[in-house]
Chain A
Amino acid sequence: MSPTRVTLVDEPESAGRDTSNLVGSLAARLAALHLISGADAVGSLLAGYCALGREVSGTGDGLRLRRALEVSRCGTTGDLIWLRMRIGDWVSSLPASPVLDQLRNDVSLLVADDVSEALDSLPYPPELAQDAGPDGERAAFVDFLVGFYAFSLEVVRAVDELAAPTLEPPGAFEPGEEPVENAAGTLLR
């Protein structure tokens, strides 16, 4: 029996995922940063993470992690901070960035073989007066990638540690509802 196959296709009525569109999407994101406040940019990213968290909570592993965090001290304290500092109100008022799509599109760009041609069609952004950071070191792409990787790993390890005390073992199952005995009680007589 042949295995089930799925095909990955572009969204209907969209320009689709090709290198020039992905370069255009990245350029538009960078340009938009100059038009909005830092608080809006950060809040929109946070709203995107929240949307992703709600989506993943529907899966077995996501639900297990969510339940463990909810009943742990970290969940209670996090809720308290989130409410008291009104982070939830702020984040809920912002449009959610499609963080996963953006990440995947950027990763796809890194392995595409026609990025150079796509970049040639873009206008060059204006040069900045200051070409180095305050400490004089230029920020290289690989610095970012290695740093982001290390940061993400730290997030994973921290969340694993926070959830560990209340995390249920994987592969658990819950019994179904017991049939109600003597359903016709005194009230139904």
Chain B
Amino acid sequence: MRVPNDPGDVNRGAFGELLRLQTEFHARLAEETIRYLRRLQGAGMPAAPGTVVHPNEAGELHASGRPGEVVTLDLEVENRQRVHSMVTPLIEPLVEASGVTWFPELEPAPGSQLVPPGEVRQLVLPVRVPAGLPPGTYRGALVLQGFRDGALPVAVEVKRLAASKRSSATKRATAAKRPTAAKHATAAKLRSRRRT
């Protein structure tokens, strides 16, 4: 079989295509082989013993408060392992049934705690409820970072502001938006002057 190399040859296209396919095949083969070897390498990596979190039966963190307040989530952590365990609580976004999503802030941030074996530590997690957050029950999860199965359900009930606080807040808001009686009077005077 004649394999032409001349640029103007009509069969060059087919030969070039064959070469391209062969090159692609070898490149892909090498890539897949390396990926397979990496997976094997991963399976042979030294194991790092980890930790699993078991919540007790009533395993939901619950708190309630009004916008502007700081509510607390109380959690006890018991370390039943034979060595110290580092505990880092993080809270996930909380969602209300109407779809409002709240990115809660732990204030001050609790940081991490090193819990000795056989001991129980209490974590008090303060969460600031932002002013203006619509009332409702916000649900989400608290995770202990890095632990397997570590999510704990969280429910924060945001109550309506008290009537006096709400009315004063409403008054402040309307005062900022609407003209006062004095402003109304001045505007009326200006209108009457324009007419005359």
Contact = CB atoms under 8 A, between A and B. Distances in A.
Contacts of B75: 3-6
A9 B146 contact: no
A156 interface: no
B107 interface: yes
Nearest to B104: A60
B161 interface: no
A63 B103 contact: yes
A147 interface: no
Contacts of B152: 4, 6
Contacts of B144: 6
Interface in A110-166: 111-112
Interface stretch (B12-20, B43-51, B164-172): B43-51
Contact of B84 (A3, A100, A112): A112
Interface of B: 34-35, 38-39, 41-42, 45-56, 58-61, 74-87, 90-93, 96, 98-107, 109, 114-116, 120, 122, 128-130, 133, 143-148, 152
7 interchain residue pairs of minimum CB distance: A176-B99, A95-B42, A28-B46, A170-B105, A3-B74, A171-B105, A101-B48
Interface of A: 3-12, 14-19, 21-22, 25, 28-29, 31-32, 36, 40, 44, 52, 55-56, 58-64, 93-95, 97-98, 100-102, 104-105, 107-109, 111-112, 168, 170-177
26 contacts: A4-B59, A4-B152, A7-B78, A8-B51, A8-B52, A8-B77, A8-B80, A8-B81, A8-B115, A11-B51, A17-B51, A17-B81, A18-B81, A19-B82, A19-B83, A22-B83, A55-B146, A60-B90, A60-B105, A61-B105, A62-B90, A95-B45, A171-B105, A172-B130, A173-B100, A175-B99
